[in-house]
Amino acid sequence: MVAVAGLGVFGGGAGEVARAIGRLPAEALVFALAATAVEWGTDAVRYVVAGRAVGVSLPLRTWLEVALVNLFAAYVANVGIPIAAYVMSRRGVPSGDALAVTVGKNLLFFPSALLPAWLLLWWSPDHLGGVALLGTLGVLVALSVVQVLAMVAVAIWPAAAGRLLARVPLLGRWPGASRFVQGMARFFRGRPWLLLASLATALVNQAAIVGAIAVLLRGFGGDALGAGALARCYLFSTLSQVSPTPGGAGLSEAGGALIFRGLLPDATVAALVLLARFFCAGLPMLAGGLLLARALRASSPAGDRS
């Protein structure tokens, strides 16, 4: 709420921001909703592909539930991977396989989100943020590559990885550790075309998120394909997903105001950031929260008796 109030102040008052929202064409909202639906669908497909790579098969409806629960947990407390694995285990998937699917799938988010943002900023003629921002994103891209390489190492040397996990407190006593290592080996080495499909669907999924923001920018009168505008949309999308605060609250709103300032009047920028946050974070948090609550209720003693 503080972040929303801050956007109101930035936009010249809540009334000005509300009037800017009221001027948005209805078709822009429809297209933003459609892009959000594509995002959710492609995220479910990402789980389908990662599941096949590891050897896990679930109905598409279940994968969609896992995808939304992952988004909810990732935005609320940055714990999307273990919560999504928990929901999969409740559907009968061995815990080691479930963790391999979620780790493999989520690892590819960083190159699919950070790398396009870095490239677009590099090519952008207005050089948003200058060398400091480009360098920061470059470091994040490098760290994401290191994460992927670490799991590739697990896949190439599974025996050594198993011995290393056995020495880690708690993980050493986890019975699913060996299945996790085997699952990561299958994800990265089993069928190369599935690994390529995982990366391709990750890129499409991220493009759908950016598409929702770009449609809103266009609806508010901005040129979404203009010089630097697409780079700003990618940067804002990435900022919302990697901010350490729950749901990116505060940092995303402040960052969005700075990123889009100058493209539109301040009141319209505030309206754009509010609606973009609603479609890209608010809706998945709401849907995923409801689905997680249902999964927890079903796993409770009372739910088991019913």
Is residue 12 in some structural domain? no
- Whether 246 contacts 2, CB under 8 Å: no
pLDDT digits (tens, 9 = 90+) for 247-260: 566 677 788 888 88
Is residue 20 in some structural domain? no
The pLDDT assigned to 305 comes to 37
Determine phi and psi for 109, rounding to 5 degrees: -65, -45
Is residue 11 in some structural domain? no
The pLDDT assigned to 123 comes to 80
C-alpha torsion sign, points 61, 67, 69, 71: negative
Is residue 97 in some structural domain? yes
Is residue 276 in some structural domain? yes
The pLDDT assigned to 74 comes to 82
Is residue 108 in some structural domain? yes
Our count of domains for the chain comes to 1
The pLDDT assigned to 31 comes to 94
Domain, as residue range, for 94: 27-305
The pLDDT assigned to 303 comes to 43
Is residue 170 in some structural domain? yes
- Per-residue pLDDT of the chain in tens (306 residues, 90 and over written 9): 656 666 667 667 788 888 888 989 999 999 999 999 999 999 999 999 999 999 999 999 999 999 998 888 887 777 888 899 988 998 889 989 999 999 888 888 777 887 888 888 778 777 676 667 777 777 777 777 787 777 778 777 777 777 777 777 666 667 778 888 888 888 888 788 888 888 899 999 999 999 999 999 999 988 877 768 888 888 888 877 776 666 566 677 788 888 888 888 889 988 999 999 888 888 888 888 888 887 777 655 444 433
Is residue 34 in some structural domain? yes
Distances, alpha carbon 239 to alpha carbons 15, 60, 107, 134, in Å? 27, 29, 17, 13
